Chain A
Amino acid sequence: MRTIKEINEKIKKGKVVVVTAEEIIDLVDKKGLKKAAQEVDVVTTGTFGPMCSSGAYFNIGHSKPRIKLGGGICRLNDVPAYCGFAAVDIFLGATSLPESDPQNKVYPGEFRYGGGHVIQDLVFGKDIRLEAETYGTDCYPQKKLQTYINIKDLNEAVLFNIRNCYQNYNVAVNLSDRILYTYMGVLKPRLGNANYCSAGQLSPLLKDPYYKTIGIGTRIFLGGGIGYVVWHGTQHNPLARRKENGIPCVPAGTLAVIGDLKQMSGSWLVGTSMLGYGVSLTVGIGVPIPILDEEICRYTAAKDIEIYAPIVDYSQDYPQMTDKTLGEVNYAQLRSGKIIIEGKEVPTGALSSYSKAREIAEILKSWIKKGEFLLTEPVAPLPGVESGYTFKPLKERPI
């Protein structure tokens, strides 16, 4: 029907037709699949939720005299960062916590500040306190460093998230008699609430369920700036159970993404504290899907009511890895505010912001329309269902 090259020509000429993943649903309903696929060049998706396997790396520049952080230790605003690289390269993970944080010793811990918050503060342009201790060498004699750093002075500041954008996720509930504090939020006892975390019909990988357009090299909206898909994310699981419409009904594919932190925004990278669990980074991602043929158009038009998620008990089944579920619900039910589980009406709560996901899809649409964002041809595909690639549990062997 059309190629990415042809779409880019239309973008340059200002003639491209772009709609969001919500708008394509109405368009297909109104005009039919064939006509909609002929008219629309690009569908934009969006998601905005806590994504723990996020992080950033920095090159801070060399001090006088030189210091070799590699092999030593390093903290940013008291939050430990990894520096087992060359002299002044460091990596900060979103869930890293200061040693002074009481964690869950006073239960439930508040986890007010950690790696995700440092990343947001950096993006806001705030000065960050760097403290490092290491050993001296002939070429790197300095052993201690205490200085403020600012994102504008760093050589590189790169967001590098090794797992983002989960294609579908669990609906978390609590069958026990006590409150649970989880990464899925506070779960009230005896099915007191059900928390979910996906943008459903707006979510990137749910709109390209077989990764026909999203691959390595895909240019995306990342944290308010431009980023790229660099690999499949960790725990990528294309063989996860799917419905007849091809959409996974359990957590499945994931993305690893990268982008220049210096052009991102603190509105789309938000330090996050989960009571009794830890810290994280809430990340905004938007992926454009080129409508190359009718089949791809049909996938992008999937509705909340056609996308199902498993209900999982976080008191027993999740921590003990039993693989048991309490049934499934669709995203239209979840977004209605209540679902029925075992005959009981249960109020729902979301960790992923649907309104922000919608905003991201709109921003990406406007970038493409204005000619500021061109689509990319994937350099290589993500492992798909035919790859045999799976997500395995740990093979534990006694030492």
Chain B
Amino acid sequence: MKLRDEFLRELQAIVGQTNRRVTVADGPRILRCEVDQGTALAAAVYEFILESKELAQVDTAILQQSSQSLCNRVNYLLEPISPIETDIDGCVVQMRSNPPQQNESGKYYYELFLRRGGSIALYRYEKQPGAIRSRVPVTLTHEVLGRLCEDFNATIEEILAS
């Protein structure tokens, strides 16, 4: 798959670097990734977004349906993901770790958005006791990042096929 292969090549190119933006495109699909730190095997990323104008006219019901299958596909992260809220006006489905990870040092969870317009985005949040919730980098191996790229891509294909 061209998008994934190019993305993994870019990741190899920024090994040892910090605060880099990686952007690769394949036709209308653009993968944007904000990398906090890159290593030979993994990368700590603040955001991982696959954008596509192909989702411009998609219906909320289809997004809801596809968000469920996206959650089923992305089952290799630290916590299982499931749809939490759907904003019909904005045509956005929000998915989160369900349940979130919770320990003495705080709460941690993934948040994914599937938007008409459109895009699929992944973030990681942390909420320490007594502190404001903040977005934190999530460290994923290159292999997992490549798989995420494939699964996001497959979700767009599924939406377009609906």
Are A and B part of the same complex? no
